[in-house]
Amino acid sequence: MGLWVLLCGCLVLVLCGSMWPLATAGRRNHPKWGVFRSVQYAHRGLHNRELGIPENSMAAFRKARELGYGVELDVHLTKDGQLAVIHDKSLKRTAGVDAEVSDLTMEELKRCRLEGTQETVPALEEAARLFQGGPPLLVELKADYFDVRELVKKAVAVLDRCQVDYCIESFHPGVIFWLKRHRPDICRGQLSQNFWRHRGELKGWQAFAMTNLLSNFLNPEENLRTDQYGGRLENRFRLVGRILQAAREACGPEMALLVKADCNGCGDLRRLLELYQEADVDGVELSGVDFAARAGEKSPFYLQEALRAMDGIQVPLSLVGGIFDLETAEAVLEQGFSFVSFSRALICQPDFIARMKRQINPHSP
């Protein structure tokens, strides 16, 4: 009996994993897609700590609106069932308060000051009304609990009432599933993370179902398989290699095939780069599993890890993270990298490329 229960349980997990992409499937031909692609976006608003404009603040949203940018913002449910715009579930980082958003009412949140300024945590409706008749919103719904119906219903109601163009995205597949089932007209996007590390109130099977996406195959802490796709790195790379081969066959030799590698999430970066080289990719961008945690650093995030692993590697390498100016970019290139990549620098500073061009040529527009 125990064996049958185990087999049935495994079958359910396999079916859930295989059917989930169908259950949450998006649309590439959404009628609003042209609207979303027509503008640039300010991640958490056009914030700048040095100018006293905190992330996810009304000041950051007003600055973005003034310059014609759409914004990406994050939404949590408060204790009294309202919608607060803030990225972290805790107020510690942005407001210096050791409390979680879900434990406070909206009125209590309004007493907190963001990053030492007079700015407070906005309500979703406040932010959304600012964009009526303007560029669209990318709204990320944040949840580390299973039943997200209240969160999604309330967010959709507010955004519809404010008459703005919006796309809803979330790490929580339940959000995307609810939208597909009840509001397929809304543009939606599935994000991904390791829910084992950030389980919150999720049960084990829920975290399993929401975590096991393709990128986790290379991480030995997440890929616990004992078959030919688990164990040593060569086995964990097996599925990735098959996908790269299929992509190459489908796209042909004239299209560049680029991949991203985690410097601290594969167990052996040097060997991973060799495997990508053997797979005949055209370039590897070096990032890491703790990219978000390093957001405040002002030096290249993974430079030392990359330098230790890249000797003798022929495939072109690119470094991303912590590169905020032309001088740093040039210093990275001098270390033997073929390219540098920009992430938050572009998100937080939409005029970043124009400023770099002016550094090279002061007369550049």
Catalytic sites, residue numbers:
43, 87
DSSP 20: H
DSSP 144-175: SSS--HHHHHHHHHHHHHHT--EEEEES-HHH
Of 74, 47, 36, which is closest to residue 348 (Cα–Cα)?
Answer: 47
Neighbours of 282 (CB within 10 A): 14
Q: Where are the alpha helices (DSSP H) in 24-148?
A: 33-37, 58-66, 92-95, 106-109, 124-129
Neighbours of 47 (CB within 10 A): 25
**CB-based contact 139:75 (threshold 8 Å):** yes
Compute the distance between CA of residue 256 and CA of residue 271 in angstroms, rounded to an integer: 22
From residue 97, how far is each of 129, 142, 149 by CA, in Å?
Answer: 28, 19, 28
Compute the distance between CA of residue 13 and CA of residue 57 in angstroms, rounded to an integer: 41
Burial class (CB in 10 A: 0-12, 13-18, 19+), 11: exposed
Strands 83-85 and 70-77, sheet pairing: antiparallel
For 42, the 3-state DSSP assignment is strand
The tokens for 333 are 């290139």
Chain Cα centroid distance, residue 62 = 23
The tokens for 18 are 């295989």
DSSP 27: -
Ramachandran sector of residue 297 (left: φ over 0; alpha: ψ -120 to 50; beta: rest): beta
